[in-house]
Amino acid sequence: MTLGGLLSAPPAIVAAGAAVFSDALRAQGAAVHDVDWRPPGFGDPADLAALALDRRRDAANRVAVERILAAGSQLVDVRPAREVIGLADRTLLHSGPPLTWEAASGPMRGALIGACLFEGWASDVEEAEILLSSGAITLEPCHHHRTVGPMAGVTSPSMWMWCLRDPVHGGQAFCNLNEGLGKVLRMGAFDAQVQTRLAWMRDVLGPVLSKAVRGSIDAGNDPLDVKGVLAQMLQMGDEGHNRNRAGSLMTLRDLSPAIVSTDAPSSDIAAVLRFIGGNEHFFLNLGMPTAKLAMDAARDVPGSSMVTVMSRNGTEFGIQTAGTGDRWFTGPANTPVGLFLGNYGPDDANPDIGDSAIMETYGVGGFSMAAAPAIVRFVGGTVPDALATTERMYQLTLAENPAMAIPILGFRGSPTGIDVLKVARTGWLPQINTGMAGRIAGTGQVGAGLVQPPQVCFENALAALAEDARAA
């Protein structure tokens, strides 16, 4: 057919992929023929069969899902890390699976150096590097301490932490306080500006928030329902990972009466309110432990193929599953693709980093992009891409979370509970939207974008789950 002949008759359209495209064409009166095509799956056929035929799997996954959906999240305290998780001197937490100084990326090294300077363990960068390279500083993953941290996730003993509790299962989860955007410790920056901000957060922000949170509860008020805030955010254009505007404003609204009632100097109260009001990502560090609480509730369910952790340290990406407990399945972290700040470009970006993919593990963030179409202006892509991404994630998950409803999809619950078996069968990998740190220590944030886990993480998890199924 000639090019001109294409318009001589009604078009015949063959569609493969997300149903949202076919539905949109049919709404315009076009005839569409759907083809059930998807990328080829992966994994050893014997492993796929063993897991698929595991008699425990369906019941175990139902238990895991029920625990996630039932989990709650209340803000009950703000305290220094040394008090709340017993973080010892000369110990630093970091994001992702276990890591050594030798394997650490630029932004991770920058954040570790900055934390050593902040704690006074080193007087300059060179001294900090000597301490870290000698093994004098112990490095441990945040996840090993019921904790999560965005980007580098570095948490030191003097840093104040949000303390959240699950009133249903009794679990606890923790996260440090959000510094804001730009040149910040979590992005690998450690200069004088970063140190000054961290000192203010230690001396002013943390104590004021602690007095406000504990004072409000002591006065007989209910703790802040953080899960409720997260649910409302999705109704207001946030997706809970890279867009937290509504959530941060709601948190400011809910905490402000208690903040202004503290006995802190008025100048400190004003500075705290200004800081929260100017920090669009303030809520992220509350949302992450909320997701952590839910996913921890589903740990240690024999036979379950559901993912409970997705996390990255800037070098490796790691996942854990409900059926394999604390065991990590790792692979080389991919580099996000997206939009860059200023004159930065792809060569400036470090591979994927941060515990914040716990949001996608819970079913928000990149899984709920349909709730926040404006996110594409920050991470790239188009509005149809955002809608199609959420539609595709339903194919990888075990349930829909009714508490996290997506308005544009008729208030359908967000796709929740990533299933290793479904990922392997479809060949599709979970979608994460994330910030990008500069690959050179000290740079800070260079952009934001989209990324997926390495396939090998799921291949290894599949093999382990299949081995367990054969032994059961």
Share of the chain above pLDDT 70, in %: 94
pLDDT tier, 1 (very low <50, low <70, confident <90, very high otherwise)? very low
Q: CA 350 → CA 218, 361, 440, distances in Å?
A: 44, 22, 8
Question: What does the CA dihedral 328, 329, 331, 334 come to, rounded to 10 degrees?
Answer: -80
Looking at every residue in the chain, the average pLDDT score rounds to 94
Residue 319 confidence (pLDDT) above 80: yes
Q: CA 374 → CA 3, 239, 242, distances in Å?
A: 36, 10, 11
pLDDT digits (tens, 9 = 90+) for 333-365: 999 999 999 999 999 999 999 999 999 999 999
Domain ranges of the chain: 4-35, 45-68+299-471, 72-287
pLDDT digits (tens, 9 = 90+) for 174-202: 999 999 988 999 999 999 999 999 999 99
Query: What pLDDT is attached to residue 6?
Result: 52
* The token pair that represents 150 in the structure block: 């965005």
Q: What's the rounded Cα separation, in Å, for the pair 216 and 213?
A: 5
Residue 18 confidence (pLDDT) above 90: no
Question: What does the CA dihedral 42, 48, 49, 54 come to, rounded to 10 degrees?
Answer: -160
pLDDT tier, 4 (very low <50, low <70, confident <90, very high otherwise)? low
Residue 182: phi, psi to the nearest 5?
A: 95, -135
Closest residue by Cα to residue 34 from 24, 46, 44, 45: 24
Indicate whether this model's pTM tops 0.85: yes
* The token pair that represents 99 in the structure block: 């890591």
For 81-214, strand residue ranges (E) read 91-94, 138-141, 147-148, 160-165, 172-176
Task: Using the structure block, give the residue that is written with the tokens 């390279």.
Answer: 133
Query: What pLDDT is attached to residue 182?
Result: 82
What kind of fold does domain 72-287 have according to CATH?
A: Enterococcus faecalis V583 fold (3.90.1710)
Q: What's the rounded Cα separation, in Å, for the pair 226 and 296?
A: 16
pLDDT digits (tens, 9 = 90+) for 411-455: 999 999 999 999 999 999 999 999 999 999 989 999 999 999 999
Query: What pLDDT is attached to residue 221?
Result: 96
Query: What pLDDT is attached to residue 14?
Result: 75
* The token pair that represents 315 in the structure block: 């070098």
Residue 281 confidence (pLDDT) above 80: yes
Interior CA angle at 86 toward 81 and 88, to 5°? 90
Q: What is the mean pLDDT of residues 87-103?
A: 98
Q: What is the mean pLDDT of residues 116-134?
A: 98
The domain at 45-68+299-471 falls in which architecture?
Alpha-Beta Complex (3.90)
